[in-house]
Amino acid sequence: MNWCTGTLVLFAVSAAVSTGFGQSDDHLVLDQAKSLYAQSVFAHGYRHGYEEGFHIGDQDLQMGRRVRICEKISEYKQGRTHFRATFGDKSAFERGYKQGFSRGYEDAFSGREFQAVKSGRIVALGLAQALQNTGQSRAFDTGFTSGYDAAMKSALRNVGGDLEYLTQYCEKTADPKLKDRETYCQGYARGLVFAAVQSREDNSEIARSLLSH
């Protein structure tokens, strides 16, 4: 092999590797909560949105600006720029992004610590890396989103970290005709806990509860 050919081969391999790393998402590869983000597009979008919202909120705080309505901030509507087709359902990602952006902005502007890393890792404890099929992944994500919404709309944000109890409660009360109900309820329980963790600065009690099950 001559040097020109060898150089071209090495260049092609390097370019391919660089492209692969460039297209990867750290939340799905390096994050300790990657199992959660792989199964819930909503949670994945939430993480992206929280990071952006926290950054904007911190900027506003440091610059002495007045608090802004998130819906009027241009970055709030840019979830699509963070989305890739490999993530899954675009609408679920963008919805999670907006929820995360609002929470991140509020936390930063209020002077609270960055919560998204901790909450994601706590809820991902004991979660398998991947579900068996697309239908189950969709059921988990739908359940997670429903659990999150239920917690944010009521006092359920005070729930503990007993995922087994929350999952069983969901299975008893959910529509018996619901497809992949068991997987849906697993997502529902984790969505409830995720919202609870996001609403508390001290998450140690929930973490201990999850680790004990």
**Residue pLDDT, tens place only, 85-111:** 999 999 999 999 999 999 999 999 999
156: confidence class by pLDDT, cuts 50, 70, 90: low
pLDDT of 18 above 50: no
**CA–CA distance, 149 with 147 (Å, rounded to integer):** 5
- Are 167 and 189 in contact by the 8 Å Cβ rule? The answer is yes
Q: Is the dihedral of CA 191, 195, 196, 197 positive or negative?
A: positive
- CA dist list (Å): 191 to 68, 120, 162, 195: 27, 10, 12, 6
What pLDDT is recorded for position 161? 62
- Are 65 and 108 in contact by the 8 Å Cβ rule? The answer is no
**CA–CA distance, 141 with 41 (Å, rounded to integer):** 6
Helix (H, G, I), strand (E, B) or coil at 177: coil
What pLDDT is recorded for position 155? 52
Amino acid letter at 31?
Answer: D
**141 contact partners, CB below 8 Å, separation of at least 6:** 39, 40, 41, 42, 43, 88, 89, 92, 187
- CA dist list (Å): 122 to 89, 95, 127, 131: 24, 22, 10, 19
Please state which of the ranges 42-51, 65-74, 172-181, 204-213 shows the lowest mean pLDDT. Answer: 204-213
- Are 17 and 67 in contact by the 8 Å Cβ rule? The answer is no
**CA–CA distance, 90 with 42 (Å, rounded to integer):** 9
- The predicted model gives 4-10 an average pLDDT of 39
**CA–CA distance, 90 with 32 (Å, rounded to integer):** 23
What pLDDT is recorded for position 78? 93
pTM for this predicted structure: 0.81
Helix (H, G, I), strand (E, B) or coil at 131: coil
Please state which of the ranges 63-67, 138-142, 208-212 shows the lowest mean pLDDT. Answer: 208-212
